[in-house]
Structure 1
Amino acid sequence: MTKAEARQYSPLALAFVGDAVYEQLVRDELILSANMPVRKLHSLTVQKVCAEYQAAAVRTLIDKGVLSEEEQDIFRRGRNAGGVSAPKHSTVADYRAATGLECLFGYLHLIGETGRIEELYKNIRELLPDSAE
């Protein structure tokens, strides 16, 4: 898919796809790190896919200058999308930032930028200590 075609999708549709892409990366990382009970895998996954963690991740990427201008634009589209309401356990700001990150991952997935997705995820895991979970 071209960038222009991917930009035609709503930010929330991109976030819908990006949520699955991001969670798959987390699950792959966890299963490859150790053979552990499914309950533990699920618990660790939830810690890394929650809005608070994703918000911290994207803020770290932005603060460290990892995102290109185009990527920041896609993130902002997701963050500023209407119709987003945060669950009780998250702040609106964190939930919107997480939606922006998912939008970016969805966009990159649709345009076939698998290498960039992996690079961004690697940066998140290197820049954001596990203690932030």
Structure 2
Amino acid sequence: MPDNRAIVLDHMARIARGDLDGALALATDDAVFRSPDGSELDKAGLRALFSQLAPLLVNPLDQTIVGTTCEGDRVAVEATAATLLANGQTYRNRYHFLFELRDGRIVSSREYCDTRATDVFA
């Protein structure tokens, strides 16, 4: 049986360090990623979002995993992240993610965070 917690934490670590290809390799081809605003992205959509964000970040995200809860094919992760932005401001946020896996691969994720914290990107 796959270690779903380890798969999710590997996925998140790859995203934090900018290895989007590696992170997406841990997801199924039909995976769905739901953003805090409720929009749903497929793998191509998530790749496009990250390509738009990359020029705004000076450094990779400094991510801290606060805790995880695993139940079968569902993994919940509480995390914090911070980074310096190209506009000189510091981005900091708290997150909660819920991942669902099938056969050791991510099939969906839902992200929750403080959307007011993203105002520093403007």
Q: TM-score, normalised by structure 1?
A: 0.28
Bigger relative contact order (CA 8 A; separation at least 6): 1
TM-score by length of 2: 0.30
Please state which structure has a larger fraction of its residues in helix. Answer: 1
| Larger proportion of strand | 2
